[in-house]
A and B are shown apart, each in its own frame.
Chain A
Amino acid sequence: MISTLVSSFKIDMTYTINAFIYRLLHLPYFKEVFSTDLYKSKKAKKFVRILAIFCTLFRMFITKISYVFFIYFLIQILYSNVTSSLFFHVFFFLSMIGMFINTRILSVGRKKYYAVILMGMDAKKYTLAYYWFYTITNFITNLVALFILSMSLLSFGPLYAFIFALITVCLKTSGEVLNILFYQKTETLLVARNNYYFTILITFLLLAFLLPYIHMILPPSSYFLLSVVIFIFSLFSLVYLYHFNSYQKIYKKINTEKAIRSEENETAYQRQMALEIRKKDYKINEKKLKGKRGYDYFNTIFFLRHKVILSSSANLFSFVCFLLFGILILYALLNKEIQPEIYALIHHHFAIILIVMYFVNRGSIITQAMFYNCDRSMLTFNFYREKEVILNVFKQRLKTVSMVNLRPAFVIGLGLSILLILCSHSFSIHYLFMFLSVLMLSVFFSLHYLVIYYLLQPYNEYMEIKSFSYTIVSFFTYFLCYLAKDLTFSFPVFSILILIGTIIYIILALFLVYKFSEETFKLK
């Protein structure tokens, strides 16, 4: 069993090391300095191996310690007073959730795919080796984390730390068997069945957090008996795990190539799924295409076929803003004494609108859809990569993207105007400026998302973000908005600044896109 574990670790390690070198070689500076010979270098690999082992151990302990302390502080927030018995109660029921839905054996994994399916390791030996590895490390990390908690914030002592470390691993063992039995019976994973998944989740969350509200907490002494019962159950489970012989069959069914790919890059996979054209949009209203030609025709169809994805996101934001402002306006109406405060708040902190509009803007999802469903394929045609064509499509898109983003902007602008009028009991032409500046900011950010998409084209075919500069620019934009949040301008000055900024940016953007995107707007 030890040798199985060692060889599967070797596979994992090789993968981790090569992935690390691969990433390193794709960083701007490093790719100049190092060559692919790095894969051959024994010294470099040794260094990365030590680093990887250290990181893994560090992560294991840190995760567990953070988890335990997170529960502690959560209880503190919810009940303001944390006792050992309250902590045990919550910890126990949360572990019950983990027992059902956090299965190791039946989880989909790249490592399993490589070891068992690709390289043909004995599935049973592999499973049991990993089972022991996880059980022992889990026990140790839990013990250490609970002990630290006991030493620092709660003084329940080492005996309880030991009992709970034992309870968690025994629950996990029983959970593994329950999951296998469920799979054998239904041929589906428990976690993949939403109704079961949420029933378990909600039931145990209620037991964990609601019972203490009505003063029903499991007494600490009961855990002695519970641990014995759970321990006996886990012994039976262990016998089952040793007698079970269909690991190979199950692995082949759940660790398919597709599942591995989506597991490897979960976000990219989710992103792809989110961008698929919805069935509802297959049929479009032909009348809306009347008189449209060329790029306008192309762009209009694109937006009509992505109505659900693009508009629903903007509409949802508009609706949320509408609700929030509705509540605020109602609140201001009912509490007259708060009105001057609201007025002052909007006036003095209006620059926060920069951050708000940055986040409200749907530019990011729109450019993602543009890439995934349109440019990814169109860029393989050379006519689509010509300067004039790029600029033409860009202009069409700017108009439509701005229109989509103006919806939530309109609600925000209107909401703020009503609040200002209501709280100052008067109308000032300044409020109109404020309203206009919100709309302009929306155009500004629509343009911004589009420009950085055209100049940095960050995605690869699978919707993974491959451009480091894109991440930097996005962060930098946010950072600038954050820095500007404390600036105070009168509404007219603010809106004139935004107007000038937007106009300059539009001219600059058209120039930059025309000049450079032939080079930058490409497939990676």
Chain B
Amino acid sequence: MSERETLLSVSNVSLSFGGVKAISDVSFNIAKGEIRAIIGPNGAGKTSMLNVINGFYHPQQGQISFNGVMRKRMKPYEAASQGIARTFQNVALFKGMSTLDNILAGRALKMHKSFFWQMFRYGPALDEEIEHRKFCEEIIDFLEIEHIRKAPVGSLPYGLQKRVELGRALAMEPTLLLLDEPMAGMNLEEKQDMSRFIIDVNQHYGTTVALIEHDIGVVMDLSDRIVVLEYGHKIADGTPDEVKSDQKVIDAYLGVAH
């Protein structure tokens, strides 16, 4: 795995909020085409890490390089144009819009035709809209959510909302897909479906995936490599087998008195 080209590397990153350290001096990398998991107990700094990766937070120290380019300070919305898509722990969907519109919103950066044409839904803008609609329909087919295409997502069950959110991220054709607890609150069957989708995305589209997940069983099955965080520190990094047998990880998870 380590021979693979590096897509994203995090070097010595530290992040704190008003003196409280969320991440301390963490380094790891994500290789092209792998499924990379970030795990750790609650409050370990996993979501903060994702927020650093997609530019919501700026680390006080350390470097991030993506696609071989050292990252400068950037605006939160710029991660998307670099090819980083994400989902959120508590599902951040456009609740008043339909499934289809949510996924189309994921195409925001891919639409270029001028505002003028769009107003009249005419000419090149119409062709473009149709192309994007087709693309989104492929995603809808892929995620098997045809039956909720026109439904306002706010009224959907949680498991389906998570799927729509994944669909919106996929619509961005990301090179790096960040998933924040994609299976939280799902039942066994929904988890199996979601795992299947993640593997399919990874294998068929070659998308690199980085995910946070609490269900250790799922993580072990799904990921190529795992980073383990605890209290903002990295305590382990390696293949599922390596991580499983790491004493520090066992201590952190089996609850040796902290």
Co-assembled chains A and B: no
A interface residues (Cβ-Cβ under 8 A, vs B): none
